[in-house]
Amino acid sequence: MSFELRVVLVEPMYQGNVGSVARAMKNFGYTDLVLVNPCKLEGQARAMSSHARDVLEGARVVSTLEEAINGVDLTIGTTGASCLKTGEHVRLPLYTPPDIKEKLKGYSGKLALLFGREDNGFRNDELKSFDMVITIPTSEVYPVMNLSHAVAVVLYELSGLQSEENPLAEGFDLRLLYGHLGKLLEEIDYPQHKKDKTHLMLRRIFGRAGLTPREVQTLRGVIRKVERRIGVKDEESGESLQES
């Protein structure tokens, strides 16, 4: 197995940038491009794509971020922020492209690289939904990069990534785990004012851990064991999970 890498552009504003991103992708051997509510793609986009017009014309257009990441195992959002805070006591760890490459060594799976709007990037709620967040160190004199340049830098850094037979857990199973964690917080009467932030923190810990399918199933098994101990009813059978 190997990494299947998808590039997602969220609401790109300039068709020239989209064409240039397609060109950068083909430079490094990638073809899976998804566009969320893009601008009109006409002559300028085709011109800037140059010999990567096949990547541009093969791009899928969707209306939501959820559609764009459907079927992937790991989501990596990008931001130009050097110090990002999304809420009280909740900070998102920022990785550089080499950091990401190092963390993904030895794994395989479906990966989505997400790039935000040219004018203001991603909203905080969008960034908080990603498994990992990446930033490119730039000069403080002029830190904002052109969209296609940022895509090229990240793809260059990841292009030599060697994967092995150690697959990442599927995104569907991770969502089940996160839902199970949220349900458990409710069941143990976790303080309401802390619940959302704690759930987010748990998601980010497990998201950047690179969990394997077996690890996810083990974690879910532990949660079910806790539920049995506290006498939670099974949603399917309606019977108590309390151990005898």
pLDDT class for 233, splitting at 50, 70, 90? low
Q: Which residue is listed with tokens 């905080």?
A: 124
Domain ranges in the chain with CATH number 1.10.8: 171-230
Structural fold of domain 171-230: Helicase, Ruva Protein; domain 3 (1.10.8)
Question: 3-state SS string over 100-166?
Answer: HHHHHCCCEEEEEEEECECCCECCHHHHHHCCEEECCCCCCCCCCCCHHHHHHHHHHHHCCCCCCCC
pLDDT class for 88, splitting at 50, 70, 90? very low
pLDDT given at position 237: 45
The first and second tokens of residue 69, run together, are 């990441």
The whole-angstrom distance between residue 214's C-alpha and the CA centroid of its chain comes to 21
Structural fold of domain 3-158: Alpha/beta knot (3.40.1280)
- DSSP class of 112: E
The first and second tokens of residue 190, run together, are 């976790």
Whether pLDDT at 242 is above 70: no
Domain ranges in the chain with CATH number 3.40.1280.10: 3-158
Whether pLDDT at 185 is above 50: yes
Average of pLDDT values for 83-108? 70
